[in-house]
């Protein structure tokens, strides 16, 4: 029985970790389909951003209630990873609480205390996380917080969000059934495989276990194994679910905040190609440097976007804080910054899939602009940066919108007529309105 | 009045004078009737304090901001490079402007094109003049008046200038009240990103209508702005609801009126 469990454990872990690596590679390849761009060359600053914003959750706290609930689940998730070390050791060796017994055998008392501290923290945080998860489900499905129940989330995004929360509840239940079963067996004292830990029971399960100790041993072993296997299997399933879910943010928030943009939010990315062309127009002695490859103005498709915008799309957890503060969205326009990110991710996934199936020349005659994001959406943006400011993981929907606009106006020449008039006025009169440049100082006449 | 003459860069150069700071008036400040009043108010403050400044006059051209934000990089590059040639030709080092869009683009986007200047918004200049004690505000006109400040996106989120405009209002002895959505969370007036140059897309209401409603919630006497486009949008919004109490007013006008300039 023991040996079957070990073999099964090794087989399942190796298979799921391999599958995860394949999926991670797929996402990496998709992101690298984007345009090359240097974001910054200041690793110290990047790490600071990552520690503050991703690890420290700084920007989450723009909404206190959601931030606290999220913090509980986040910290509990992080701390639970400690226990995973022992789960793997036990799984590979067929042992039971191997890490604790290792410390005990070596009389490393400090580490034995540390072990108890860790498990007790996991237990306390798991209880808190259980209620936080219930609160999240409630906010989403009963309270119907507007940004979490908008129709743009109908279908998979809504299901995805709820599935993750149910996963979390299940994970917590597994942890407790493992610890309670274990402790009850210790108290019963009849199974050699479950020797009493000399530190006593754990803080939460220790309170509940006595009520279970009179159950038959077989049932208790079943409860402990159910918890142990359930825990690790769910972790491995979750690992492979994440790359296909909005929940990828729990990994990609870190690189995404590291690659935050250092420039002020108001700064638009320069187009050196156009700059040099215009420079040559003014100064015939200036020869623009040769440009490699096809010259494109802005982004028509997801592959024309900077790789950072694609990383942004994968790091988005669809919380909708951006959409909630978007002035266009608040006044009933079609534009939703969250949807810009979701559609960008959909598009690059479709392109990546196409390339894997049909080779690098793959084309489906579709493009991000037009088939996934409409002209009406990108024209409604006031470039106010509210979405960028609000994002807890420093995503910029604005960069995507502006690149799409560049393509719309310069490649497709499809600007609204009023904008074309404005362009002409600027060119002819050096002002967006039809005034004569010689009247530029008329205001001073009244002085 | 002779004390309100406006020094033009070309004339100053001919007289061998060098200004300490260039006042970039901007297209709105030059041509829009409402914004012209702000330009005049700011000129009065500069003249009153004897600041050594100049304007480019007819040599000034659109910064290219609306073209760039609307996606037309060619028009932007043409205007920007033309302006940079003018500014560099005069050896300009420091620029002040009453328009956050001009402020943002000259400060952040001209350097990549070879135009490197110290750029301040007029709220920052006013604040530093107050701090230095050069600009003294006579209390009285706005004492006890309820003033709310609408953050311009291109000043606030775009460049993290939140306090300078508020400090100027506080210096007036006015009662500064904040809207529910202010500072980093301040809602846009609806003009930016070249929106002001076209009709809005389909929707339930206009952005400026919504923002005006938010401002009226705090029932202010004055709705202070620091941007000519916010000024246009919110003035329209206030007109739309036929509110005759609240006045949309620029920081420069507040200061000029307080000092009876």
Task: Compute the distance between CA of residue A296 and CA of residue A306 in angstroms, rounded to an integer.
Answer: 13
CATH annotation of B2-126: 3.40.50
pLDDT of residue B1: 41
pLDDT of residue B3: 54
ipTM: 0.96
Query: A270 and B81: CB-CB below 8 Å?
Result: no
The per-residue pLDDT for range A365-405, each reduced to its tens digit, is: 999 999 999 999 999 999 999 999 999 999 999 999 999 99
Question: Is the pLDDT confidence value at A445 over 70?
Answer: yes
Query: B55 and A327: CB-CB below 8 Å?
Result: no
Question: Is the pLDDT confidence value at A91 over 50?
Answer: yes
Residues from chain B that touch A263, judged by Cβ atoms under 8 A, are 108
Question: Is the pLDDT confidence value at A331 over 90?
Answer: yes
Which residue pairs from A41-49 have beta carbons closer than 8 angstroms and sit at least 24 positions apart in sequence? A42/A262, A45/A262, A46/A258, A46/A259, A46/A260, A47/A258, A49/A257, A49/A258, A49/A260, A49/A394
With beta carbons less than 8 A apart as the criterion, state whether A96 and A6 touch: no
Q: Which helix (H) or strand (E) holds A163?
A: helix A156-188
With beta carbons less than 8 A apart as the criterion, state whether A312 and A338 touch: no
pLDDT of residue A297: 96
Residues from chain A that touch B121, judged by Cβ atoms under 8 A, are none
Residues from chain B that touch A443, judged by Cβ atoms under 8 A, are 25, 29-30, 36, 39-40
Task: Compute the distance between CA of residue A327 and CA of residue A380 in angstroms, rounded to an integer.
Answer: 9
Structural tokens at position A188: 């019963």
Task: Compute the distance between CA of residue A153 and CA of residue A149 in angstroms, rounded to an integer.
Answer: 7
Query: A274 and B39: CB-CB below 8 Å?
Result: no
Task: Compute the distance between CA of residue B201 and CA of residue A344 in angstroms, rounded to an integer.
Answer: 22
Mean pLDDT, residues A248-254: 97
Q: In what order do the strands lie in the sheet with B21-24?
A: B53-54, B21-24, B94-97, B118-121
**pLDDT tens-digit profile, chain B (261 residues):** 445 689 999 999 999 999 999 999 999 999 999 999 999 999 999 999 999 999 999 999 999 999 999 999 999 999 999 999 999 999 999 999 999 999 999 999 999 999 999 999 999 999 999 999 999 998 778 988 999 999 999 999 999 999 999 999 999 999 999 999 999 999 999 999 999 999 999 999 999 999 999 999 999 999 999 999 999 999 999 999 888 899 999 999 999 999 999
Mean pLDDT, residues A236-257: 96
State the pLDDT confidence band at A2, using cuts at 50, 70 and 90. Answer: confident
CATH class of the domain at B137-258: alpha beta
With beta carbons less than 8 A apart as the criterion, state whether A159 and A166 touch: no
Search chain A and give the residue with CA nearest B155. A266
Which is higher by pLDDT, B244 or A8?
A: A8
With beta carbons less than 8 A apart as the criterion, state whether B98 and B53 touch: no
Task: Compute the distance between CA of residue B107 and CA of residue B128 in angstroms, rounded to an integer.
Answer: 18
pLDDT of residue B4: 65
Per-residue exposure over A63-91, b if at least 16 CB sit within 10 Å of its own CB, e if not = beebbebbebbbebeebbeebeebbeebb
Please name which of A198, A223, A234 lies closest in space to residue A103, comparing C-alpha atoms: A198
Query: B201 and A334: CB-CB below 8 Å?
Result: yes
Measure in Å the smallest separation between the Cα of A142 and chain B Cα atoms: 26
Task: Compute the distance between CA of residue A150 and CA of residue A376 in angstroms, rounded to an integer.
Answer: 19
Query: A426 and B64: CB-CB below 8 Å?
Result: yes
State the pLDDT confidence band at A191, using cuts at 50, 70 and 90. Answer: confident
Supply the Cα-derived Rg of chain B in whole angstroms: 18
Which residue pairs from B205-210 have beta carbons closer than 8 angstroms and sit at least 24 positions apart in sequence? B205/A331, B205/A332, B206/A331, B206/B237, B207/A327, B207/A328, B207/A330, B207/A331, B207/A382, B207/B233, B208/B233, B208/B234, B208/B236, B208/B237, B209/A331, B209/B237, B209/B240, B210/A327, B210/A330, B210/A331
Mean pLDDT, residues A60-74: 95
How many residues can be counted in chain A?
Answer: 447
Query: B57 and A440: CB-CB below 8 Å?
Result: yes
Structural tokens at position A203: 């803080």
Task: Compute the distance between CA of residue A301 and CA of residue A259 in angstroms, rounded to an integer.
Answer: 22
* Cβ-nearest to B157 among A386, A406, A426: A386
Question: Is the pLDDT confidence value at A300 over 90?
Answer: yes
Distances (CA, A) of A330 to A11, A186, A321, A335: 51, 59, 12, 9
Percent of chain A scored above 90 by pLDDT? 91
Residues from chain B that touch A270, judged by Cβ atoms under 8 A, are 109, 112-113
Question: Is the pLDDT confidence value at A341 over 70?
Answer: yes
Q: Is A94 exposed, middle or buried (0-12, 13-18, 19+ CB in 10 A)?
A: middle
Mutation target vs B (from A295, A403, A404, A441; most B CBs, 10 A cutoff):
A441
Question: Is the pLDDT confidence value at A293 over 70?
Answer: yes
Dihedral pair phi/psi, residue A432, rounded to 5°: -70, -10
Dihedral pair phi/psi, residue A398, rounded to 5°: -60, -40
Cα B61–Cα A273–Cα B81 angle in degrees, nearest 5: 20
Place of tokens 């390849």: A29
Tell me, yes or no, if the two domains B2-126 and B137-258 fold the same way: yes
Please name which of A210, A208, A203, A206 lies closest in space to residue A120, comparing C-alpha atoms: A203
Q: Which 8-state DSSP code applies to residue A97?
A: S
Task: Compute the distance between CA of residue A390 and CA of residue B183 in angstroms, rounded to an integer.
Answer: 12
Query: B195 and A268: CB-CB below 8 Å?
Result: no
Search chain A and give the residue with CA nearest B39. A443
Query: B58 and A422: CB-CB below 8 Å?
Result: no
Residues from chain B that touch A437, judged by Cβ atoms under 8 A, are 58, 61
Task: Compute the distance between CA of residue A91 and CA of residue A10 in angstroms, rounded to an integer.
Answer: 7
State the pLDDT confidence band at A1, using cuts at 50, 70 and 90. Answer: low
Task: Compute the distance between CA of residue A56 and CA of residue A49 in angstroms, rounded to an integer.
Answer: 9
Is beta strand B222-225 parallel, antiparallel or unpaired with respect to B247-250?
A: parallel
Residues from chain B that touch A266, judged by Cβ atoms under 8 A, are 104, 108, 154, 157-159
Q: What's the helix, strand, coil split of chain A in %, to 5?
A: 70, 0, 30
Residue ranges of domains in chain B: 2-126, 137-258
Residues from chain A that touch B159, judged by Cβ atoms under 8 A, are 264-266
Query: A430 and B79: CB-CB below 8 Å?
Result: yes
Alpha carbon distance, N-terminus to C-terminus of chain A: 97
Task: Compute the distance between CA of residue B43 and CA of residue B96 in angstroms, rounded to an integer.
Answer: 12
User: How confident is the prediction for chain A on average, in pLDDT?
Assistant: 95
């Amino acid at each position: 029985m023991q040996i079957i469990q070990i073999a099964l454990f090794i087989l399942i872990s190796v298979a799921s970790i391999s599958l995860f690596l394949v999926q991670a590679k797929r996402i990496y390849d998709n992101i690298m389909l984007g345009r090359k761009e240097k974001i910054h060359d200041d690793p110290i600053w990047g790490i600071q951003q990552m520690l503050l914003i991703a690890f420290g959750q700084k920007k989450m706290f723009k909404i206190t209630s959601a931030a606290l609930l999220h913090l509980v689940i986040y910290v509990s998730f992080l701390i639970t990873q400690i226990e995973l070390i022992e789960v793997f050791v036990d799984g590979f060796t067929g042992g039971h609480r191997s890490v604790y017994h290792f410390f005990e055998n070596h009389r490393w008392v400090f580490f034995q205390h540390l072990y108890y501290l860790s498990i007790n923290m996991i237990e306390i945080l798991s209880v808190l996380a259980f209620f936080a998860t219930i609160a999240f489900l409630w906010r989403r499905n009963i309270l119907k917080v507007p940004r979490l129940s908008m129709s743009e989330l109908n279908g998979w995004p809504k299901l995805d969000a709820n599935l993750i929360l149910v996963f979390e509840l299940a994970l917590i239940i597994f942890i407790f059934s493992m610890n309670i079963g274990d402790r009850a067996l210790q108290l019963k004292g009849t199974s050699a495989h479950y020797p009493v830990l000399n530190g006593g029971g754990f803080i939460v399960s220790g309170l509940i276990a006595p009520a279970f100790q009179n159950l038959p041993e077989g049932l208790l072993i079943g409860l402990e194994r159910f918890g142990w296997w359930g825990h690790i299997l769910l972790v491995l399933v979750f690992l492979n679910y994440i790359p296909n879910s909005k929940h990828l943010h729990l990994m990609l928030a870190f690189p995404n905040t590291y690659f935050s943009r250092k420039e002020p939010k108001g700064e638009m990315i320069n187009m050196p190609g156009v700059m040099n062309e215009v420079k040559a127009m003014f100064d015939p002695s200036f020869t623009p440097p040769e440009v490699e490859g096809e010259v494109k103005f802005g982004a028509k498709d997801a592959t024309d976007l900077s790789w950072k915008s694609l990383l942004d799309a994968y790091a988005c957890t669809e919380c909708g804080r951006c959409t909630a503060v978007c002035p266009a969205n608040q006044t009933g326009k079609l534009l939703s910054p969250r949807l810009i990110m979701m559609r960008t991710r959909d598009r690059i996934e479709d392109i990546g899939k196409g390339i894997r199936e049909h080779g690098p020349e793959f084309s489906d005659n579709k493009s991000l602009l037009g088939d996934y994001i409409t002209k009406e959406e990108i024209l409604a943006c006031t470039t106010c940066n509210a979405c960028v400011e609000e994002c807890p993981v420093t995503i910029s929907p604005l960069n995507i919108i502006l690149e799409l606009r560049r393509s719309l106006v310069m490649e497709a020449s499809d600007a609204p007529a009023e904008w074309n008039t404005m362009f002409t006025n600027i060119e002819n009169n050096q002002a967006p309105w039809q005034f004569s440049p010689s009247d530029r100082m008329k205001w001073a006449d009244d002085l | 009045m002779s004390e309100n003459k406006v020094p033009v860069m070309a004339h100053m150069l001919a007289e061998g004078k060098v200004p300490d700071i260039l006042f970039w008036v901007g297209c709105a400040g030059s041509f829009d009737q409402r914004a012209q009043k702000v330009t005049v108010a700011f000129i009065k403050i500069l003249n009153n304090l004897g600041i050594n400044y100049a304007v480019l006059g007819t040599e000034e051209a659109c910064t290219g901001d609306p073209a760039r934000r609307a996606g037309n990089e060619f028009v932007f590059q043409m205007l920007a490079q033309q302006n940079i040639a003018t500014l560099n030709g005069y050896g300009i080092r420091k620029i002040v402007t009453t328009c956050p869009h001009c402020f943002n683009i000259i400060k952040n986007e001209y350097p990549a094109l070879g135009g490197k200047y110290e750029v301040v918004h007029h709220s920052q200049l006013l604040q530093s003049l107050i701090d230095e004690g050069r600009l003294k505000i006579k209390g009285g006109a706005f004492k006890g008046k309820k003033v709310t400040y609408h953050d311009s996106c291109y000043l606030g989120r775009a460049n993290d200038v939140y306090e300078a405009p508020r400090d100027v209002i506080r210096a007036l002895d006015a009662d500064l009240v904040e809207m529910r959505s202010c500072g980093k969370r301040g809602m846009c007036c609806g003009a930016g990103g070249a929106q002001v140059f076209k009709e809005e897309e389909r929707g339930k209401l206009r952005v400026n209508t919504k923002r005006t409603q938010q401002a009226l919630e705090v029932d202010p006497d004055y709705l202070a702005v620091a941007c000519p486009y916010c000024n246009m949008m919110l003035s329209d919004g206030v007109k739309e609801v036929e509110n005759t109490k609240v006045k949309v007013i620029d920081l420069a006008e507040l200061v000029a009126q307080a000092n009876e300039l």
